[in-house]
Amino acid sequence: MLGGVALLLKGLVLWSLAGHPLLEPRGQLDTAYYVEAARQMASGAWAGGDRTFFVSPLYLYFLAAVFTLTNGSLLMARVLQVVLGAAAVALVAATARRWGGPLAAWVAGALCLLTGTITFNEILLVQGALDPFLGAAGLYLLTRAWQAGHRSALWAAGFALGAHVLNRPNMLAWAGAAVALTAWPVWRRKTIGPRGLSAAALVVLGVATAVAPVTLRNYVVAGEFALVSSHGGLNFYIGNNPEADGTYHAVEGITPSITGQDRDARRVVSRALGREVTDAEVSRHFYVRALAWWRDRPGDALALFGRKLAYVVNEAELTLNNAFRYYQREVRTPLAGLLVGPWLLVPLAGLGLVWGHHAVRQRAPGHEAAWWALVASIPIGIVSVAVFFVAGRYRLPLLVGWAVSGGVGVAGLAARASSGRHAVSWLAPVLVVVTLGAVASWPWGLDEGVHAERETWAVHLVEQGHLDEASAHVEKAAAAHPEPARLYLRVGRALQARGEWARALGMLDRAADAAPEQVAIALARGETLVALGRHEDALEALRVAGESVVRPDAAAALRARALLSLGRLDEAALVVARFTAVKDATSPRLGEMAEAAIAASRPADAVRFLRELAAREPSNVDIVERFGVAQSLAGDDGAAAGTLEAGVARWPDRTSLHLNLAIVYAKQGRLDEARTAAERALALDPGYERARALMRAIK
């Protein structure tokens, strides 16, 4: 029955949020990474590429299988996830029933069903969508294995744990503990048929059956050993470094998204070590850096670890990409009624730890020690998250375990009450519930992502052209925003992208009023003022941005454009000459710097910029042609001829390439070749007046 109710309720949440634009896979969101990688697999690349898996692969294969069967339907993937979520509720109830009876089953199932963050993550296209089901299946099968002791049950429990490791590698800690506890001599003789190590070996076999194919695949395609994926080292470093605070923070030089991490981490480590590195070496590099910090600053490291332990069990829902609290409180969905969270789960789980054995004694006599072994998953799971960094979806497997423990704890309390014990015996459970409730509800002031989601909604409104609605939303969001400058900046940039320069300037002016010294704001204002033709004002804004900004390429390009527009050619030339951050500049900014260099009569600098651009984008005909022309303007006609000849060979239908090659030939005195190149340009475009003018000049 609980499973049916769960399916209905989760289906309603899916129906209410399935079309929400902010939940669609787009841009740099994790959802976009998973969907794109799964589509590539579904198109035939089932091996998942020729590198070690960067992220744990089970969810990728899950999505790829759904896409193959449903012609790429995102909705059907979400529907199947909701079905698995309903099954997780049923499994939680069934697990609690085996330990504590009907009352435990109803309480545990209801706790799992009413935990809103579980249902919310089950409708997202991220790996956490499978965690509630995998966690519930692992607990249920381990319960059966430890209570029944059948060989098949032991193997199945191990396989379920191994499958969960493929989706959440830190679950390896619990899988290892489950193996050790299966062989625990204090209780195994009474509860498990196969003796000792033979029982544990069956669990190990199950884990290996699930994990080994991925480990073997990593070795075959990449030639290096990686149990599941190579993402662990970077995640460990994010949570353990001098700037870490226990939550997610970007690492310098690495874009804060899965796509960016996959792309940038290898580049950053290669640059640090001075050589090309493998994915396994990247992960090892970050592990070594984090452990070195632990060695050098053990006091700080332990204090941070303690804070992370508190965050894991806290009510605050630390978000990655999509903020659960925003959709629970500000979007009309059934999530508003799913109010259970760590504030209730943690104290009730504690009740299961200290009083659950009373229910087990009635429901499953002789298995009290096995119950203690099962609830050992609670502290192990908490530690396995805290050693990295804390995020709401990383603790999803813990929530189902807390629900089971809570249900059995309530049943144990009821069993204890029915025994007619003195009122003093209630002191212990009351203290446990109150203490853990206070810990779980402690107001750490953590950012749950609501303000960022409001910003994203404002940007979405701008992107859709609802500019007045976006302005009204910004007014409302800014009133409660702790950093309104960030809101104004994001919306201002979105308005820039639509060419709404006047509106953008209004937003950016407000951002500058709120944070007058912030470089990113000054830079965005400078770009807007240049676009509006207010070049003197732009130079003043760029002066605030300074010389050594996060994006020196943008500052230099904008400053050069403003100076050129004001006719201050010498100053523009100086900006161009001083610009050295060529390797770190974005391609569009390099193109702007090249144009500024030509306008400022600095063709040699244009060559410097365009050489880098051509190396990055060798298939871009515009860049190759501009590179050749710049070489000629810089006086290197030999190199220019070579560049343009290669371009003509590759793009023979490009009229301007033939003309520019003809001009270079003419400058070199190669008049017959110049005439031939000009004739080819005219053959492609008989009305090409510049080619005709060149022909006349040659004659």
The pLDDT, as a whole number, for residue 420 is 59
Scan for tokens 């400078």, then name that residue: 526
The pLDDT, as a whole number, for residue 586 is 83
**E-state strands within 320-382:** none
| Rounded CA separation 661/681 (Å) | 10
CA atoms within 13 A on the CB side of 474: 29
The pLDDT, as a whole number, for residue 419 is 65
pTM exceeds 0.85, yes or no: yes
Contact in structure between 563 and 571 (CB atoms under 8 Å): yes
| Rounded CA separation 494/602 (Å) | 33
Helix ranges (DSSP H) in 481-534: 484-497, 501-514, 519-531
- Per-residue DSSP letter, 419: T
34: Cβ contacts below 8 Å, ≥ 6 apart: 25, 55, 59, 60, 63, 125, 126, 127, 258
pLDDT in tens, 631-674: 999 999 899 889 999 988 999 898 889 888 889 888 888 888 88
State the burial class of residue 578 (Cβ atoms within 10 Å of its Cβ: 0-12, 13-18, 19+): exposed
Strand partners of residue 340: 115
Instruction: Give DSSP secondary structure letters for 303-347.
Output: HHHHHHHHHHTSS----SSS-HHHHHHSS-SGGGG--BSHHHHHH
The pLDDT, as a whole number, for residue 393 is 92
Closest CA to 531 of 567, 573, 580, 495: 495
The pLDDT, as a whole number, for residue 186 is 45
| Rounded CA separation 92/104 (Å) | 10
CA atoms within 13 A on the CB side of 371: 31
| Rounded CA separation 318/247 (Å) | 8
Domains, in order of start, for the chain:
2-227+336-425 (no CATH), 232-335 (no CATH), 629-699 (1.25.40.10)
The mean pLDDT values, 10 residues at a time, for the chain of 699 residues are 91 94 88 93 89 92 96 95 97 95 95 97 95 96 87 91 95 90 62 64 93 93 88 93 92 84 86 87 92 95 96 94 94 94 95 85 81 88 95 94 94 78 66 90 93 95 95 93 94 95 95 88 91 91 66 79 88 86 83 89 90 90 91 90 90 89 88 87 86 81
The pLDDT, as a whole number, for residue 191 is 47
pLDDT in tens, 558-588: 888 888 888 888 888 888 888 888 887 888 8
